[in-house]
Amino acid sequence: MAIWIVAHDAGGSEVLAAWIATQPYLAITHYILEGPAVSIFKRRNLLQTNSNRNHLSSIKAADHIYTTTSWQTDLEKIALKLSNEKKARSHTFLDHWCNYRKRFMLDGIEYFPDELILADEYAFEIAKREIPEVKHRLIPNAYFEEIKNDIVRIKSLTSELRSGHKILYACEAILESETPEIPLENSVEYHSLIKYLETIRGIFINKPVTIRLRKHPAETQRKIDALINLVANDYSGFTFEISCSNSLAQDLAWCDELVGMNSMALAVGAISKIKTTSCIDSSRIKFTLPFDSIIII
């Protein structure tokens, strides 16, 4: 049986790769991965040989295709279009909680899989409501469970005395996905960060505060450096640093509080019982995470 994996974006790839790791009898025959998906699958030692997108034309040989969805590329959409033409059985893992139908639009036409796979009840209900014509399957979120367990393990191995207040700021690639032509200082990312810094400016007067910015996989290091340069002088009472870890769990184990905008990292923080705050500039971007424990400012 020929089983193909087609993926690009980070969020869906994390969920898909974690699920594959729980399926020891699932023999993958072909991988077509691009973008953040490549490093995610390599990290799990799942990727032996990766084909480029030119091999999508051979998808007619597949019996089953498992895909994610992406905003940066049409890779998965093309795979679904071809699988529909060749009658291969297709399954798509949906991450996040918004814009479900738009994820399947290619050249004005919707190409849906045979099955949508959801890894939490919120997403399951949203998908049933927004795309009722497709079969839905709810599975445990192996990625979320892994991170929760990793946080507990890392904390148990850490003996350092905690001093000051440690804030993990989860950055997001909104500028890249929607308005790449505008300056960083006019972006949602910048105004959301400023909104949060203004909120806490008078709270930690006699307590040192470290704010660690964690880069989204779709962002560049240059962008994060520029973001810190824009705020560091006006908020010199805070210490800013950039995460050097590939592990979200490691950063979450380090922090006292998680802050961000609308990314999956905030969902991970919420389910891991970490104080989680969204500071998204709601005048420009709607907050869509369905977790009541997330504080919205």
Does 147 fall in a domain?
no
* Band of residue 178 on the pLDDT scale cut at 50, 70, 90: low
Q: Are residues 98 and 194 in the same domain?
A: no
Does 153 fall in a domain?
no
Quick check: 264 and 98 in contact, CB under 8 A? Answer: no
Q: Are residues 166 and 85 in the same domain?
A: no
Phi, psi of 177 (to 5 degrees): -85, -25
Boundaries of domain holding 175: 160-296
User: What are the CA-CA distances from residue 253 to residues 112, 149, 275 (Å)?
Assistant: 38, 11, 12
What is the pLDDT averaged over residues 38-42? 93
Number of domains in the chain: 2
Whole-number percent of the chain with pLDDT over 90: 73
Q: Are residues 165 and 229 in the same domain?
A: yes
Give the pLDDT confidence of 184-215 residue by residue, as tens digits: 999 999 999 999 999 999 888 888 999 999 99
Checking if the pLDDT of 233 tops 90, the result is yes
Nearest alpha carbon to residue 7 among 297, 186, 44: 44
Q: What is the pTM of this model?
A: 0.90
Q: Are residues 88 and 123 in the same domain?
A: yes
What is the pLDDT averaged over residues 45-66? 87
Residue type, 244: C
Quick check: 291 and 272 in contact, CB under 8 A? Answer: no
Q: Are strands 209-214 and 165-170 parallel, antiparallel or unpaired?
A: parallel
Q: CATH number of the domain that 234 lies in?
A: 3.40.50
